[in-house]
């Protein structure tokens, strides 16, 4: 092992959580390498407008990501972009991360922040209208649909909670769910059933998104009869689950049935010296602010680990 390739901290993922972790660890004078597979900034760069990041009333995701990257670099984090991790060894005092091009890096601690993505419907028009009428986050985008008509797809707790949230903005919320019953808490089901702004369409699936520049309608199929109808909409919110980017970890750290990494409140995983944060961990709320908070905690926990474990 060459000392050039030995880091105090390797952060995997340069989204909000990873860049924040890098800012904290490099500012604490820990030699830090951030390895990133996609575009620096992660999901932030998919977001046109971020209006709920405190202190920055309105920004776009690219600007926020760029500012975080600059800050991480200013404190000394090295960022390697467009990498693919092909081997990983997290046990023991020195962790080992191998890349597609044969490079191998070593670290005393690893912070896992590979994020994830909302599950999509994968039907015609979805890619075209993402951010132009289709959203995966009512907290993020609900206010853009003031007095408009929206459809919510899904029948779990998240879908029902988000549908209720959306009634504060939209004039009408139609919930479309594939089964003939919801899979949610009884109190949430009662709340949607009693809300005069909410209409419920069960046993049905969306088949297509239609529109010119912006989304204008959706095609809905009633599954028992196969009958299709078109609903005029201003927006569609899809809540059918979340896919964490953790398959590549195999069994390196403990995950739950949803493939989310299990952490303690200090962002510790089950492996000594390995921390995780952001959208990849088991948690309810996935926002830039929560990713930033997780990244901070993971970095401070890694710093404490480094202070307590003297590995030469
Ligand atoms: C369309 C959209 C709009 C949103 N709008 C808002 C909003 O307005 N406000 C808000 O607060 N939140 C919003 N969110 C949610 C918010 O963007 C995320 O919760 C947050 O950015 C997650 O940050 P993260 O660092 O945990 O993960 P990510 O942003 O997913 O970053 C993870 C990074 O890790 C990289 N990576 C993945 N696997 C590997 C690997 N094996 N090796 C190396 N790198 C890897 C990825 O390429 C990515 O760069 C939105 C999300 C979406 C999709």
Low-confidence ranges of the chain (pLDDT < 70): 1-2, 311-312
Ligand 1 touching residue 188 (CB < 6 A): no
pLDDT digits (tens, 9 = 90+) for 85-142: 999 999 999 999 999 999 999 999 999 999 999 999 999 999 999 989 999 999 889 9
- The pLDDT assigned to 38 comes to 85
Q: Is 281 in the pocket of ligand 1 (CB under 6 A)?
A: no
pLDDT at 312: 63
Q: Looking at residue 55, what is its pLDDT?
A: 94
Q: Specify the pLDDT at position 63.
A: 95
What is this structure's pTM? 0.90
102: left (phi over 0), alpha (psi -120 to 50) or beta: left
How far apart are alpha carbons 76 and 87 in whole angstroms?
A: 25
Atom of ligand 1 nearest to the CA of 135: 1
Ligand 1 atom closest to Cα of residue 52: 9
Give the pLDDT score at 131: 87
Question: Ligand 1, from 13, 48, 111, 296: best to mutate by most atoms within 8 Å of Cβ?
Answer: 13
Q: How far apart are the CA of 259 and the centre of ligand 1, in A?
A: 16
Q: What's the confidence (pLDDT) of residue 190?
A: 96
> Which residues sit opposite 107 in a β-bridge?
7, 95
- Say what the pLDDT of residue 49 is: 83
Distance 303 CA to ligand 1 centre (A): 24
Alpha-carbon distances of 194 from 134, 178, 179, 202, rounded to whole Å:
26, 20, 20, 16
Taken in order 265, 158, 234, 193, the sign of the CA dihedral is negative
Q: Whose CA is nearest to atom 19 of ligand 1?
A: 287
* pLDDT value of residue 139: 86
């Amino acid at each position: 092992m060459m000392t050039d390739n030995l880091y105090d901290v390797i952060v995997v993922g340069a989204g909000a959580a990873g860049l924040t972790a890098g800012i904290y660890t490099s500012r604490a004078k820990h030699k830090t390498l951030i390895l990133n597979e996609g575009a620096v900034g992660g999901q932030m760069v998919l977001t046109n407008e971020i209006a709920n990041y405190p202190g920055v009333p309105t920004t776009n995701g690219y600007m926020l990501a760029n500012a975080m990257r600059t800050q991480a670099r200013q404190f000394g984090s090295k960022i390697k972009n467009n990498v693919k991790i092909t081997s990983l060894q997290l046990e023991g005092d020195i962790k080992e991360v191998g890349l597609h091009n044969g490079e191998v890096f070593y670290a005393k601690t690893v912070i896992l922040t590979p994020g994830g993505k909302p599950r999509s419907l994968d039907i015609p028009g979805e890619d075209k209208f993402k951010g132009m009428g289709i959203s995966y986050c009512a907290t993020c985008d609900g206010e853009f649909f003031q007095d408009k008509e929206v459809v919510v797809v899904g029948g779990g707790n998240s879908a029902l909670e988000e549908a209720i949230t959306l009634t504060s903005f939209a004039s009408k919320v139609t919930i479309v769910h594939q089964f003939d019953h919801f899979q949610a808490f009884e109190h949430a089901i009662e709340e949607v059933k009693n809300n005069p702004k909410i209409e419920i369409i069960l046993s049905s699936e969306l088949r297509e998104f239609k529109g010119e520049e912006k989304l204008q309608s959706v095609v809905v199929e009633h599954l028992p009869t196969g009958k299709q109808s078109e609903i005029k909409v201003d927006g569609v919110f899809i809540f059918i689950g979340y896919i964490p980017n953790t398959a590549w970890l195999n069994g390196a750290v403990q995950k739950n049935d949803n493939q989310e990494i299990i952490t303690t409140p200090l962002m510790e995983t089950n492996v000594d010296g390995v921390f995780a944060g952001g959208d990849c961990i088991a948690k309810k709320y996935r926002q830039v602010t929560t990713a930033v908070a997780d990244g901070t905690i993971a970095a401070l926990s890694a710093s404490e680990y480094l202070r307590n474990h003297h590995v030469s």
